[in-house]
Amino acid sequence: MSDTDYEALRTAFTASVSHELRTPLARLQSLLETAELPGVDLNALLRQARDEVTEMTELVDDILFLSELEQEREVVALGVTEAAPVLRDVVSELSERAELAGLTLRLVIEDETIEIPLRRRMLRLVVENLLENALRYAGEGATCTVTLAPVEGGTLLEVADDGTGVPDEDVARLFERFFRSDRARTTRGTGLGLAIVKHVIESAGGNVEARGGRGRGLDIRCVLPA
């Protein structure tokens, strides 16, 4: 990448970060101004304010983490992890939230002995971000299936739902930083989860792709080398 290209990328990223922080900051300012009015429910406003601070904190944490990944301060593929126990743990931990969201979680493990060339923390991060994406956007009544299976030359880690999906023209952009499809813009989230997934998988020598469309659900397929 040339110096000019790098500078353009850095400028665009800085602008995106500023834009993403502006929204929760504006909401927080509005809540504080409302708190000065007579007769308001201060406890309710404080809860909402805490939510805004949490959102900003998560955004900053994700930005810093992605920056560390890109600068190789985090060694993504240092070691090998037995995948099945990690997937079971994450699915179990998110099952209550999934139930509250009206989402059915399924786990399909075709080979219990599969090992993935990722640190345990990195594998958990990938699975958590993929499932968080489904929890936010699949919609009530959908089923989300997590699959771990051997494929030619490697291992498939797939998270697929049969929910509302995204517009066809948005599918190819899902891994862009801060990108949100129309429905995603109405929900909370940093917009960096899938960008982090893509970086981790590719840093480990794998590849990731999204399939789906409006009304056809969303399928995120990660293939890692054996």
Domains of the chain, earliest start first: 3-70 (1.10.287.130), 81-225 (3.30.565.10)
Residues with Cβ within 8 Å of 160's Cβ and at least 6 positions away in sequence, in order, are 144, 145, 147, 217, 218, 219, 220, 221
Burial of residue 213, with CB atoms counted within 10 A of its CB: 0-12 exposed, 13-18 middle, 19 or more buried: middle
Which pLDDT belongs to residue 177? 66
Lowest mean pLDDT among 4-8, 35-39, 55-59, 90-94: 4-8
Write down the pLDDT at residue 103: 95
Report yes or no: 225 and 117 within 8 Å, Cβ to Cβ.
yes
Residue 57 pLDDT:
77
Indicate yes or no: pTM above 0.85.
no
Per-residue three-class SS string for 47-89: HHHHHHHHHHHHHHHHHHHHHHHHCCCCCCCCCCEEHHHHHHH
Question: pLDDT tens digit string along 26-76?
Answer: 888 888 889 888 888 989 888 888 888 877 776 776 666 666 666 665 556
In this structure, of 14-18, 19-23, 171-175, the range with the lowest mean pLDDT score is 14-18
Which pLDDT band, with edges at 50, 70 and 90, does 98 fall under?
very high
